[in-house]
Structure 1
């Protein structure tokens, strides 16, 4: 049994299958035309490091593709209801080039495989375009996979009582 959902799996509605396709065909590989058609102009991404606009998220995808050889964006679980989709997404690849979009600055490659597991909630406009996304993932675990030594974090200022 394949661990990822196929875009042809008819157990899922068309909106869910389109989400699978966009991950494979326009996030994992560069296809700005497909992305532009999928995302609403007023799209907002809400993630662990703050909010992003669609152009900012598209730049993040570019940075992922550049840093991770064989980059993939696959869906594992999808629950679709009305204008919302809940999803478990897996992003993966081998870390072979500098990653410029980390929350701590550019990270040099370590040549190791990376797998980032995300929990997403997507909201769509009535016209079918993606309007909003909320994402949670283990940012510290992701940085560890990239070879970041988290014991070297800068000291936090003390708070006096």
Structure 2
């Protein structure tokens, strides 16, 4: 599989459909279809941002490499990110990592990505990720959906030399990460997606 053509040549939609069909009990799309036709219809999940949805088991049939990718992603969020243990980002991110952000900009290098991670905690020190309610992997590509939460309790830099006064409001947003992995077991490239408009409204700055 050409991982970059999967994203750039219109196959991303098909991959998204694959992800959505595989979340329940770690089953793959073929098993999900078989279960449906045997009289076990698909049951939609609630909004994970408002109703906790636990992380399911890893999908069946993963290679050792694919399983390591998902395990590394779990560790990166639940241990490294949640505890702001920034030196450990190198366990999951390559030194040259390119990170694509929801607003369309991207950054290069682990040092810059670490600065950006620290910036999230500067104004919401209780920021954390609690679940990966969808997680899939194929070859050197993985994806998961999770929930990021926090509280706007400290001044937020406005990018113009000033600060936005904290509102004390909590946020809980669904997020998606798509990762491209190298043979060393770290990410070469990471794509982050969430609804910024919803995010800003929840923390009270829109």
Same fold, TM exceeding 0.5?
yes
More strand by share: 1
Output the CA distance in 1 between the equivalents of 2:199 and 2:111: 23
**Is the 2:58–2:135 Cα contact (8 Å) retained in structure 1?**
no
**Is the 2:151–2:203 Cα contact (8 Å) retained in structure 1?**
no
> Greater Rg, structure 1 or structure 2?
2
Counterpart of 1:76 (choices 133, 146, 152) is 133
- Counterpart residue number, 2:198: 141
Unaligned 5+ segments in structure 1 are 150-161
**Is the 1:40–1:130 Cα contact (8 Å) retained in structure 2?**
yes
Q: Normalization by structure 1: what TM-score?
A: 0.78
Relative to 1, partners in 2 of residues 1:106 and 1:130: Cα closer, same or farther, differing over 3 Å? farther
Counterpart of 1:114 (choices 166, 171, 182) is 171
Unaligned 5+ segments in structure 2 are 1-51, 61-66
Pairwise CA distance, 1:35: 0.6
Pairwise CA distance, 1:106: 4.0
Aligned length: 146
- Counterpart residue number, 2:88: 34
Runs of at least 4 residues off by over 4 Å: 9-12
Output the CA distance in 1 between the equivalents of 2:74 and 2:205: 31
**Is the 1:68–1:94 Cα contact (8 Å) retained in structure 2?**
yes
Q: Normalization by structure 2: what TM-score?
A: 0.62
More helix by share: 2
